[in-house]
């Protein structure tokens, strides 16, 4: 039986050998996509508005710090060098691909509409994202008189709740560096911040990457994707498919009806959020502990007697691949039962370690395995968990001034709820939720259950 990955590669090679596979200079015009990118391209293709998943980073600078022309030149250098920043996702004859185009990385100054602050203006810009444009875009907006509804990220901890007062250190401006998820993962974000700062420091008059450098990066990117697809093909073996079919047989697709009154949000924003810091265990919280805490939250959100699929990113560049920009992290599914029987830390840890033996199986192949085993699940995830093991991303430094990474609440979210954890001397916990699915009251109770589970002395977790 041919795996989903082998079938994809066969279809891509037919396209790559055809007229659309090469540009006028003989260089590749089409690039294959990883399993992770395949998932995002297909989700985007099924969205009525063609909306992509976006990954924004927000940095607060003293007003007047950022030279837009210099920033635009720096961003364009990144787009010239990195193939994934000048490629556009499309589905060609049923096959997801990236099509290379001209390097673009628009930098836009955004004006606040009447009654808006910087946070509201940036939420509006992201909501209005045009699907046909460049995968990397930057937006700069001055804070309004009230200051944006910001919360500090992991790079600063000068208050118990991670918040700063508006205008605490004079007028500010917020720079949003935004990528489509097909172009990046967590490893890519750190490199983008570093290279954007270096290109900005070099100045507008400095030459960009040479054609030879760009060609070498294209070769490295293509090789990395092909190595990843080879690894995914091996991970989609009949044994792996049987494993995931058995593991996910009990998962069902959940109707996305509101758990509470629709439109009951206090501030009219599409998503709610909560954040808290709790003391970290001496060795940090183990991943099974975090999964158990998410199960506790899911029990509040969905009730007892359900199998709730939680997703988390896992993986990295394949062995032998260059550290290219792109999206290589697979989404692994952890089915967690709510309230049907006691679940011990050892059971959670054992199931998770077994899953890691099959964590390279592409997400769409996992969904196929579940459906072949009799599940009605179509791939919808009820929750997402991300963990920042790196503790901090280097600050974006422009003109010698470090930007303070911040969080802007209230943005639309793709799933019902998501939990992010930053490991450090404390655990920084954040949960966001879709208010069309969960009421604030229920979600806040779920977050309290999650933080309570991680604040309690941990049992042995194996």
Provide the residue count of the chain.
Answer: 462
User: Number of C-alpha atoms within 13 angstroms, CB side, residue 222?
Assistant: 18
CA distance 412 to 223: 35
Closest CA to 124 of 65, 176, 192, 191: 176
Query: Distance (Å, rounded) from C-alpha 100 to C-alpha 85?
Result: 9
pTM of the model: 0.89
What's the pLDDT tens digit per position in 118-137? 999 999 999 999 998 999 99
**131-176 residue pLDDT tens:** 989 999 999 999 864 444 443 333 332 332 333 433 446 899 999 9
**Contact 394/190 with Cβ under 8 angstroms?**
yes
297 token code pair:
């939250």
Token digits of residue 250: 């009990």
Q: What domains can be seen in the chain, in order of their start residue?
A: 4-228 (3.30.559.10), 238-455 (3.30.559.30)
Average pLDDT over residues 107-113: 96
pLDDT digits (tens, 9 = 90+) for 184-219: 998 899 999 999 999 999 987 777 899 999 999 999
Task: Summarize pLDDT for 228-252 with one digit per residue, the tens.
Answer: 999 999 999 999 999 999 999 999 9
User: How sure is the predictor about 257, in pLDDT bands with cuts at 50, 70 and 90?
Assistant: low
d(CA 122, CA 141): 8
Radius of gyration (C-alpha) of the chain in whole angstroms: 22
Could you write out the DSSP letters of every residue in 83-130?
GGGSEEEEEETTEEEEEE------EEEPPPPTT--HHHHHHHHHHT--
Positive or negative torsion for Cα 86, 200, 213, 205: positive
Phi, psi of 60 (to 5 degrees): -100, 125
Examine the pLDDT at 29 and tell me if it is beyond 50.
Answer: yes
- What average pLDDT is seen over the chain? 87
pLDDT digits (tens, 9 = 90+) for 46-90: 788 888 999 999 999 999 999 999 999 999 999 999 999 999 999
What's the pLDDT score for residue 268? 81
Helix (H, G, I), strand (E, B) or coil at 459: coil
Three-state DSSP class for 149?
A: coil
- The percent of residues in the chain predicted with pLDDT above 70, rounded, is 86
For 408-458, what is each residue's pLDDT tens digit? 999 988 889 999 999 888 899 999 999 999 999 999 999 999 999 998 665
Predicted confidence at residue 338, as pLDDT, reads 85
Q: Could you give the residue ranges of the DSSP H alpha helices within 177-310?
A: 186-202, 211-235, 238-247, 287-302
- Under 8 Å between Cβ of 369 and 248: yes
In this predicted structure, the answer to whether residue 391 has a pLDDT above a threshold of 70 is no
Rounded CA-CA distance 162/276 in Å is 8
Residue 198 Cα to chain centre, angstroms: 24
For 21, which DSSP code?
G
Residue 213 CA to residue 202 CA, distance in Å, equals: 17
Q: Which helix (H) or strand (E) holds 376?
A: none
User: Tens of pLDDT along 295-351?
Assistant: 999 999 999 989 999 999 999 999 999 999 999 999 999 999 887 666 788 999 999
* Residue 37: predicted pLDDT: 96
What is the C-alpha to C-alpha distance for residues 377 and 108, in angstroms, rounded to an integer?
Answer: 41
Closest CA to 52 of 63, 60, 41: 41
Taking Cα atoms as reference points, which of 222, 195, 206 lies closest to residue 79? 195
């Amino acid at each position: 039986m041919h795996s989903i990955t082998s079938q994809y590669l066969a279809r891509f090679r037919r396209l790559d050998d055809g007229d659309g596979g090469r540009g006028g200079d003989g260089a590749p015009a089409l690039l294959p996509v990883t399993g992770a990118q395949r998932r995002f391209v297909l989700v985007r293709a099924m969205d009525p508005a063609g909306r992509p998943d976006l990954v924004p980073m927000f940095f607060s600078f003293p007003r007047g710090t950022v030279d837009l022309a210099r920033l635009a030149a720096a961003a364009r250098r990144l787009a010239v060098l990195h193939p994934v920043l000048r490629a556009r996702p499309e589905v060609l004859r049923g096959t997801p691909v990236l099509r290379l185009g001209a390097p673009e990385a628009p930098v836009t100054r955004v004006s606040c509409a009447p009654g808006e602050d910087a946070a509201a203006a940036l939420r509006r810009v992201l909501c209005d994202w045009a699907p046909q444009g460049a995968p990397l875009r930057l937006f700069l907006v001055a804070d309004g008189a009230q200051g944006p509804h910001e919360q500090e990220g992991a790079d600063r901890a000068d208050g118990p709740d991670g918040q700063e007062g508006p205008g605490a250190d004079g007028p500010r401006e917020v720079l949003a560096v935004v990528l489509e998820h097909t172009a990046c993962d967590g490893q890519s974000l750190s490199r983008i911040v570093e290279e954007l700062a270096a290109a900005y420091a070099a100045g507008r008059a400095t030459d960009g990457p040479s054609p030879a450098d760009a060609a070498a990066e294209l070769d490295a990117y293509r090789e990395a994707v092909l190595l990843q697809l080879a690894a995914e093909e091996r991970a989609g073996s009949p044994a792996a498919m049987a494993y995931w079919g058995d593991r996910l047989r009990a998962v069902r697709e959940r109707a996305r009806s509101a758990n509470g009154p629709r439109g009951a949000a206090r501030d009219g924003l599409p998503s709610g959020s909560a954040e808290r810091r709790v003391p970290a265990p001496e060795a940090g919280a183990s991943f099974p502990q975090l999964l158990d805490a998410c199960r506790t939250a899911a029990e509040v959100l969905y009730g007892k007697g359900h199998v709730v699929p939680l997703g988390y990113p896992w993986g990295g560049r394949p062995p032998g691949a260059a550290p290219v920009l792109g999206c290589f992290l697979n989404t692994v599914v952890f089915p967690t039962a709510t309230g049907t029987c006691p679940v011990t830390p050892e059971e959670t840890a054992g199931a998770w370690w077994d899953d890691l033996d099959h964590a390279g199986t592409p997400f769409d192949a996992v969904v196929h395995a579940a459906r072949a085993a009799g599940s009605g699940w179509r791939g919808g995830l009820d929750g997402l968990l991300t963990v920042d093991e790196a503790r901090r991303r280097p600050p974006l430094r422009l003109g010698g001034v470090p930007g303070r990474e911040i969080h802007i609440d209230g943005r639309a979210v793709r799933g019902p709820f998501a939990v992010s954890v930053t490991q450090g001397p404390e655990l920084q916990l954040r949960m966001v939720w879709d208010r069309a699915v969960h009421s604030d009251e229920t979600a806040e109770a779920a977050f309290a259950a999650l933080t309570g589970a991680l604040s309690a002395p941990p049992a042995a977790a194996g």
